[in-house]
Amino acid sequence: MEPRRRVGFFTDTTVCIGCKACEVACKQWNQLPDDGLVFTGLSYDNTAHLGASSWRHVAFIEREKPLESQTTGLGAFSWIFHSDVCKHCQRPGCLENCPTGAIIRTEFDTIYVQPDVCNGCGYCVAGCPFGVIDRRDDDGRAWKCTLCYDRLKMDLEPACAKACPTDSILFGELDELHIKAETRLKQLHAQGVSEARLYGPELDGVDGTNAIFLLVDEPEVYNLPPAPVVPQKTQADAWRSVAVGAAAMALLAVGTILSARGRR
Amino acid sequence: MNRRLMYNRASADRDGKPWSERKRYVWWDAAQKKWTGADVPDFVEDKPPDYRPKKNARGLEAIGGDDPFIMQADGKGWLYAPSGMIDGPMPTHYEPQESVVRNLLYAQQCNPARHEFRRRDNRYHRAFGDARFPFVLTTFRLTEHHTAGGMSRPLPWLSELQPEMFCEISPSLARARGVVHGGWVTLTTARGQIECRAMVTERLKPLIVDGQRIEQVGVPYHWGVVGKVRGDAANELISFVEDPNVNIMETKALTCDLVAGRRPRGAAAHAERMAMDESMDLAVEEERALGEEKLRGEGPPLAEPSQMTPKG
């Protein structure tokens, strides 16, 4: 079935101010519990990573590197923020690993976990190359960003994008978001931010994502995988290795028996 | 209706044209006869730039089309307040009640119009160079909590985002005092003592004032004894000394000491409090002998109760 609309996020980290309004708006709309009241010491980031109860996560990165095109009193230092979210891959590892059909691609071209079908097997957790989806301790089921499926059905934008005061999180039709992202990238390059780059659409290992990010450093700096690959893409290789291994073991077994006979 | 920048009509010149094409923000669209741009105009939408108020106009009608500051009676931007201030009218610099350095601008150390509260439960450190309190302490707020946290600490969604009281210090201060990132530290002033986690960060640079390297301690406000997340309150450290206009105490600049480890409790805490009181009494005597009160600058006399009584 062709999707009715193709929507996604464009998260421009250069205008993120680290207010965490997206995290709170997400939790309020989706009625998610807290993820533990733990002081992490990771700058102002006490969420640490996406999880079953945290579907938006703002990373606070203290870099020993100045922000290009800006001069501050801090010298070789900058504090950058990044609101992370489910990437809504074109080739989603979670969906392909799901044995119950609980994870579906919606009419909006987003990836959605149906909580009434999920049986909590956890295969999707291992299948996600970004480490996004996770099982909740109390009910065992897997949860992640729904891209506010219920709000989309009512023609509302997702709660995080709605709450973002600087429009760092933009929601919209994927084609338009691509244009906006490219335009912003060109603008930043013209301003001398040569390290600015887009993350998401070019990730071949997942055939591109519906969540586009604009970063100003290597993905690893943001704790994002530089080259994520869904496990299914490496499956053929994996089975080939298994076959080679099995053949080698068979040969060894036969060889051992033959050589043992020969000695007798 | 929510405008992002107040007084944004000021991004255009008197004729309503952007000051800078590159940074244009809000401007007058002559064809549509209204203000338009990247933001909601913080101005009467259809008031043209050439509008001039009539003689006895009142309220918004008294503000001309080239006066962006619509919350001022005359619509103009002010460099200073010509009336209504007890000190002023021009801004200047005085050191806070407690500083690490002498005022480099005037012989008068502190604002002469300040209100002091000289009481045993509201001790002041020496005006500058108090060896017992070598660091600058400043307080700040976090977006995750509201004021002292009374309304945000009961909420799990906000509490999880900033779950514990901490203080921000530079790596050099951490090294000097043997503090590890995330470990406990105790902050001390003459008023009180609190413990919190250490956030060691390059964001907090030591100040260089008059050739002297001064370490700063940044302390958020929002913890207390109730709620889902609890911690010692920054208010324990602060003294009451008020500015003359709005009577706000000096929470943004004072001096303190910082040591690694948790604060003493029970009998040990009591003993430390007694020792602190004794040391402060001696310091007051010393100050009197040195005439340092004069150095702090004109203000209410030492023996008098304050001009203002504390509220509440």
- Judge whether B240 and B308 are in contact, CB under 8 Å: no
CA B243, B123, B116 angle in degrees (round to 5)? 25
* Cβ atoms of residues B214 and B208 within 8 Å: yes
Longest dimension (CA), chain B: 78
Q: Are B161 and A20 in contact (CB under 8 A)?
A: yes
**Best residue in A26, A27, A39, A167 for a mutation probing chain B (most B CBs within 10 Å):** A39
Inter-chain touch A74–B162, beta carbons under 8 Å: no
What residue in B sits closest to A63 (Cα-Cα)? B202
Write out residues 151-170 of B within 8 Å (CB-CB) of A.
156-164, 166
CB B217 within 8 A of CB B174: no
Answer yes or no: are the C-beta atoms of B137 and B212 closer than 8 Å.
Answer: no
Chain B residues with CB under 8 Å of A39 CB are 163-164, 166, 182, 197
Residue B285 contacts A, CB cutoff 8 Å: no
Backbone dihedral angles phi then psi of residue B160, each to the nearest 5 degrees: -70, -25
Distance, CA of A40 to CA of B166 (rounded, Å) = 11
Structure tokens at A242: 């298994």
Alpha-carbon gap, residue A138 to B50, rounded angstroms: 66
Window 78-107 of A, Cβ < 8 Å to B: 79
In this prediction the ipTM stands at 0.89
∠ CA A196-A197-A199, nearest 5°, is 145
Is B301 a residue whose pLDDT tops 70?
Answer: no
Q: Hey, are the CB atoms on A37 and B228 less than 8 Å from each other?
A: yes
How far is Cα A209 from Cα A192, in angstroms, rounded to an integer? Answer: 27
The token duo for A185 is 């990238």
For residues B52 and B16, the answer to whether their CB atoms sit within 8 Å is: no
Q: Which tops the pLDDT comparison, A133 or B246?
A: A133
Choose among A7, A1, A5, A11: nearest CA to A160.
A11
User: pLDDT category, B108, cuts 50, 70, 90?
Assistant: confident
Put simply, the chain B residues between 227 and 256 with a CB less than 8 A from any chain A CB are: 228-229
Q: Does A73 touch chain B (CB under 8 A)?
A: yes
Average pLDDT per consecutive 10 residues, chain A (264 residues; last block may be shorter): 84 97 97 95 96 97 92 89 97 96 96 97 96 94 97 96 96 97 97 96 96 97 96 91 96 93 75
pLDDT at B303: 38
Domains, chain B: 1-79 (no CATH), 115-292 (2.40.40.20)
Q: Please tell me whether residue A134 adopts helix, strand or coil conformation.
A: strand
Give the best residue of B5, B23, B161 to mutate against chain A (max A CB count within 10 A). Answer: B161
B223 interfacial to chain A (CB closer than 8 Å): no
pTM: 0.85
- pLDDT reading at B138 higher than 80: yes
User: Which residue of A17, A23, A34 is the best one to mutate when testing the B interface, meaning the one whose CB has the most B CBs within 10 A?
Assistant: A34
Residues B143-161: pLDDT tens digits?
A: 999 989 999 999 999 999 9
